Every structure is written in structure tokens, then in C-alpha cells.
Amino acid sequence: MVLTYETTIQEVEIWRTKFFAYVHEAYRRVMRKEIYYALHCLDNLRLSMTTAWYMEAEIQPNAFGDWAKLEGIRSKLSDWQLSLLEQWHSSREPKEIMKVIEKMVPEFKRVHKSLCDKLGLEEDPEWVNEILNMV
């Protein structure tokens, strides 16, 4: 018996909703100078991207909050994905936190389109831009 995983529309809906929520929450926390909270949101954005990459590759994603096997020799991520995760690191500097979030957006849009195409879900790039441009 071989176990398989197929991404569902509901999983993609939950994933993108969480991504949008963490972008907005990180922004609010930066504006309030709640930097540890903003960094926590940034960490969850990175984890959210690993979830999307796993869904795109039809690999069962980890439970949200579980970083096990996402790095190191047991990682199923590609070298370019691991490189992006490294590039999405930030200090406590508020401007840098926001800059890192900006750097994540192109890959979010790419993988979002890929998942929408795969599942026959409406991508609606204008809607995505409208939500992300609120920050």
C-alpha cells in the first residue's frame, strides 16, 4: 500500500488566508513597535511558504508550527527554496522586517498561481494585489 497526498481547495484557501493574515499582523505589530510579535509573524510567513511548496510538490505539509525536517539533510525542499528561506531572514529593525515581507510576495504570487491552476481555483491577481497593497 502506497500513501499519497493530494492538495485540496480547502487547504489552499486556508493557506492563503493565513498568509494574508500574517502579512497584515506583521505590519500592525511593526507599526506598534511590537518587534518580537512581528518577527513571530515573519517566521509564520516563512513556514507558510514551505507549506505551499510542499502542496505544490504534492508532499504532505507539516502541521502548522512544525519546522521538523524542513532544513538539513532530511529536507524535501529544493536548494533554491532553502536559499529563499535564508534570504527571508530579518533583524529586529522594523524597516528590514517589512522589506523581507516585500521580498516574499513574488514567490507567494508564483506558488499561489501554481496551486490555483493545479486545482482549478480562481487566482484573481487583482484581488491578491488589493489585499497585499493594504500593507
**Which residue matches cell numbers 532553502?**
82
The three three-digit cell numbers of residue 11, written as one number: 487547504
Residue 118's CATH number: 1.20.120
| Residue 58, domain member (yes or no) | yes
Handedness of CA 71, 72, 74, 79 (dihedral sign): positive
What are 70-97's pLDDT values in tens digits?
A: 888 999 999 999 999 999 999 999 999 9
| Residue 88, domain member (yes or no) | yes
| Residue 3, domain member (yes or no) | no
Q: Above pLDDT 90, what percent of the chain?
A: 83
DSSP state of 72: S
| Residue 1, domain member (yes or no) | no
pTM over 0.85: yes
Give the pLDDT band of residue 48 (cuts 50, 70, 90). very high
Handedness of CA 125, 130, 131, 134 (dihedral sign): positive
Residue 66 has pLDDT above 90, yes or no: no
Structural domain including 19 reads 9-132
Q: Of the candidates 110, 111, 131, 130, which has an alpha carbon nearest to the alpha carbon of residue 23?
A: 131
pLDDT at 67: 83
What are 10-27's pLDDT values in tens digits?
A: 999 999 999 999 999 999
| Residue 55, domain member (yes or no) | yes
How big is the chain by its Cα radius of gyration, in Å? 15
Give the separation between CA 94 and CA 27, rounded to whole angstroms. 9
Work out the average pLDDT over 37-51.
97
Question: Into how many domains does the chain fold?
Answer: 1
